[in-house]
Structure 1
Amino acid sequence: MVGTMALLPPFIRASRTSRTARNAAAPHSAAGLPADDEVLLDVPDDRLGPALVAAGLGAYAPAAQLMARTRERAEWEYRDRYATRLAAFAHSRSEWFEEWCAAAPRDPDVLLVAAQLAVDRAWRSPARAELLREVSPLITAAAQSDVRDPVPWRIALDHARGTRAGHKYFGELWSAAVRRAPHHYGCHVAAKRYLAESWHGSHRECFDFADRAAQDAPAGSLVQALPTRAAFAYLTDGCGPEVPRERLDAAADRAIALSARFPSVDPWPAEIRNVLTYVLVRLDRHDDALAQLRLIGPYATSFPWGRLSDDPLGHFLAVREEVRSGPSERPPWRPGIGHGERAHSTDH
């Protein structure tokens, strides 16, 4: 059993002594929050979880079935998230994925995860740009394997950012992506990241892009959270002209409305709620932040906290404790000033 546990996917429980946990449980319970030792990092949903556990045991069939269903049902948001998580697991434990590749080398789902995995591996290398150019054929193969699927185009947008592709080429990729799925969240996040890097410090332009996308998207689309991603980038960047407070509040309000459309204590919207919580805390909207923390429940996510600390779970718990305890004696909010943490340079 010990060997099996070592293979399980990387969702992490908070590490606390039992005495600390007992002491922390009562005040958190009174605030409607789970105790620290009940909080988990990057918990998969009920569909992805069994596929990751099976992959940890060396079996690829559940992952193959899951990805096939997302493609057959055109569940592009789920497909994007699942491909990313499966590729991340294959990066650290590849045997199951190698068997899947050998069994179905031309399968669209295999090609998609392979493209994501290749980009992830290249991104971690000091020779990133050179290695990314070498994986272009894998992305092309994934895109050609199912012409309806926008997810290979999201990978292509990330790839273009890593290779510092020009605006014209990026625009061609963007057009191809939105033809397939006009409101695909992953593609919009990839585009915002590209714009943020090529327009470093020009946060108003990134807000313009995010606001237009959100205004055009349905009320229940994840794209409604894109302005909050722009707000997070601005609040952790510390450069460029000031963005009006009203615009930051409007982005948060839009994400609050989106969050309310999802069930509470649900891993699917957890990342959106985690990002929103950070923004609300930075804006000194502690009551709203506490409401989001109650909706988050035990589901912390690596993003955004991994951008701010090498211990994302510990950082989430520290921010949560600050919100639970009430406003502290701090200087009033000012734009572009960090929350006492360092922002990592990558947003991949």
Structure 2
Amino acid sequence: DEWLAAWLRAAPGDPDALVVMAELTVRRAWESPARAERLRESGPLIDAAAEADPRDPVPWRIALDHARGTHAPHTAFESLWEQAVRRASHHYGVHVAALLYLSAQWYGSHSECFDFAEQAAQDALPGSLVQALPVRAAFTQLLSGTPTSVQADRIDRAADLAVAVSARYEAADPWPAEVRNLLAYVLLARGRWAEALEQFRLIGPHATSFPWTCFTDDPLGQFLETRDGLRIQVASATPLRGRADRRGARGHYA
């Protein structure tokens, strides 16, 4: 707080400082028991950030999160979405915020959420994280219970697309880390253990709080426990001959 306050005193109209202030205020409001009231109070801060740099899509992404928490109707959501994509049509954070609003957990449905994600992925630039958006829709579907065969096929297609996106980035790259954490969970839930383990390898040290905070207050512990359990699962399912083939000249595993 002292660091941000000093920044705002030194440059009260700095667009970046105003964005940080708006984001921080909205996040804290989401964590408050009086969430709706505190979110409504944060509206002027979002407006100030948007006005400070009319080209920046991030205030509009914050506005979409704000709209979700204040129970804004679809018409208000669509207006904010239009403003956001006008500034950056392929902005990943904007698409994630919109997807959450359209999810069955909030103001949409699984079908609407998937339709939006798949269309966005189809329109996205090659290698963009937006191409992996359907795997977020898949995650929300999995959280709701056991999918039907049709839903399972859709989830697997979303995972396949996210695997292809992940492959475009180097191992231990922090930029796709959250997508890889999410993808690892979805692959694991679908019983695709070897592919899930590969995503854990690509994640490297970049464990992210999402999606693990959806299941525990100790996301890092959940990440490590899941990864270690998956290693044991994959190892136990590997034939002994396959393990021997991977031994090096000294009898160690390569």
Q: Secondary structure at the match of 2:214?
A: coil
1:80-229 pair list within 5 angstroms = 94-196=1-103, 197-199=106-108, 202-229=109-136
2-side partners of 1:241 and 1:116: how far apart?
Answer: 38
Q: Select which of 262, 265, 277 maps to 2:172.
A: 265
2:158 to 251, 268, 283: 251
User: Residues of 2 paired with 1:328 and 1:173: CA distance?
Assistant: 49
Note the C-alpha offset of 1:267: 1.7
- Encode CA deviations 1:283-302: one digit per residue, 9 max, x unaligned: 00011111111111122110
For residues 137-179 of structure 1, the C-alpha deviation after alignment (integer angstroms, 9 at most, x for no partner) is 1101111111111000000000000000011011000000011
What is the Cα deviation at residue 238 of structure 1?
Answer: 2.6
Alignment partners' CA distance in 2, 1:120 and 1:298: 25
SS at match of 1:309: coil
Query: How many correspondences in the alignment?
Result: 234
Superposition map of 1:308-319 within 5 A: 308-319=215-226
Q: Which amino acid aligns with 1:217?
A: A
Contact 1:203 1:241 in 2 (8 A): no
Q: Which runs of 5+ in 2 are unaligned?
A: 237-254
Q: 1:279 aligns with which of 165, 173, 186?
A: 186
1 CA distance for matches of 2:110 and 2:195?
A: 24
Q: Structure 1: which 5+ residue stretches go unaligned? A: 1-93, 330-348
Q: Output the amino acid matched with 1:211.
A: E
> Counterparts in 2 of 1:37-116, with a 5 A limit?
94-116=1-23
Question: For 1:180 and 1:150, how far apart are their aligned partners in 2?
Answer: 5
The within-5 A match list for 1:223-242 is 223-238=130-145
| Aligned residues of 1:123 and 1:132 also touching (Cα < 8 A) | yes
TM-score, length basis structure 1: 0.65
CA distance 1:309–1:322, change in 2 (3 Å) = same
Alignment CA distance shift 1:239-1:295 (3 Å): closer
Q: What's the C-alpha RMSD, in Å, of the aligned pairs? A: 1.7
Greater percentage in helix: 2
Distance 1:231 1:158 in 2: 20
Query: Which of 311, 323, 337 pairs up with 2:230?
Result: 323
Higher relative contact order (CA 8 A, sep 6+): 1
Judged with a 3 Å threshold, the aligned counterparts in structure 2 of structure 1 residues 240 and 132 are, in CA distance, closer, same or farther, namely farther
SS for the counterpart of 1:326 is: helix
1:59-112 per-position Cα deviation (integer Å, ceiling 9, x unaligned): xxxxxxxxxxxxxxxxxxxxxxxxxxxxxxxxxxx1111111110110001110
Q: Which amino acid aligns with 1:286?
A: W
Distance 1:111 1:264 in 2: 34
Partner of 1:344: none
Asked if the contact 1:322–1:328 (Cα under 8 Å) also holds between the matched residues in 2, the reply is no
1:297 lines up with 2:181 in the alignment: no
Instruction: Please tell me whether the aligned partners of residues 29 and 38 of structure 2 are also in contact (alpha carbons under 8 angstroms).
Output: yes
Contact 2:194 2:234 in 1 (8 A): no
